[in-house]
Amino acid sequence: MQIEVPSDKYDAAVEAMQEKIKNGSVPGISDPEEAKNIVRKGHFTYEQAKNIAKAGTVESLTYDAVNGVIIASTAFGVTAVITLATNLWNGEDFNKSLKMATYSGLKVGGAAFVTTIVASQLSKAGLNSALVGSSEVIVRFMGPKASAVLINAFRSGGRSIYGSAAMKSAAKLLRGNAITAGVTVIVLSSFDVANIFRGRISGKQMFKNLVNTATTVAGGTGGWLGGAAIGSTILPGVGTFVGGLIGAVAVGGVAGKATDAVLGNFIEEDAEEMVKIIQEEFEKLANEYLLNQKEVEKSVDKLSDILDGILLKDMFASSDRRVYAREMLIPIVERETKKRKHVIALTDAQMMMGLREVLEEISDFSQNQENIVTV
């Protein structure tokens, strides 16, 4: 039995499982240290998994709002399913995405990941559920060739083994946790969210725009009244419009320059601080929603369309500026994530294909390393 938990909930989950074992609530297990073998640390945080599940774009991932639980309806598990989806959304082809997902699943679940995938196919093939969990049955289903690939991938030295010897060793391997050690985590290409943000949004410029707009409006009103009075003495009616227009342009321009010089330093710092908060909250959301570079760029472009000095002033006056920023940003971010293409659930055959290819890659890598050492 294994339970995958979000990466940020792992320590608490292990402690909770240890308490359950101490209290005798876990049948067949008495050693609290076994909690670390039961609870497996996923690669994604709770917020990341929840946001993807709630969006509904991944068919095999659901969010139970009542209990706050993220559920993967396939043998692949939450980490593998999300890895598959994010790779596809990043533009990778299906085969590479499947491979990356399998690597992630192996790293999290180890031998249990292998047995779960194979057991799932065995169950659907009609095998008695009592036998499905048997490592011997799973190895027989895999056959001597796949068993050889599996066991030889994790042999530290000496000759590779095949046939019945490989099947026997593979069955033993599946009962342990050694499989996890042979898997390397694949890190997705990264990009700098902060640079993308700073390259498009400037608090300093927004403040200057705000000051110029506000003072030109104020000065322009005075100019309109004064100019209208002059115009009406010349020609009532039409003169009111013409005189007002000329006065607004002339007086407003002078007032704008004066206010910019007097008020610039003080409020500009406030505006820059608001933009800094918005940037920090956006970086958090980009991580929580697992945005790719294109989604980040489009989200920031949309933000720059609506963000101005007036909005920054409203944010400055709000009781909680970070909450204000998040409430402004979340609809923009979710607008992009809703555009993600739908990821359908994997078939048993696809999961087996991914598993087989990854095990063969690990085997080839191990063999190459042995050859290098030998040379």
Residue 310: its pLDDT value, please? 82
Residues found in the chain: 375
Distances in Å between the alpha carbon of 210 and those of 49, 114, 214, 369? 39, 60, 6, 63
Model pLDDT for residues 7-66, shown as the tens digit of each residue: 999 999 999 999 999 999 988 899 999 999 889 899 999 999 999 999 999 999 999 988
Model pLDDT for residues 166-219, shown as the tens digit of each residue: 777 766 666 554 444 444 444 444 568 888 888 777 666 665 665 554 444 444
Spatial separation of the C-alpha atoms in residues 242 and 232, rounded to whole Å: 9
The number of helices, as runs of H, and strands, as runs of E, in the chain is 16, 4
pTM beyond 0.75, yes or no: no
For residue 162, how many other CB atoms are within 10 A of its CB? 15
Residue carrying the six token digits 């050889």: 148
Residue 62: its pLDDT value, please? 92
What mean pLDDT comes out for the span 153-170? 67
Distances in Å between the alpha carbon of 250 and those of 124, 239, 240, 255, 373? 82, 16, 16, 9, 83
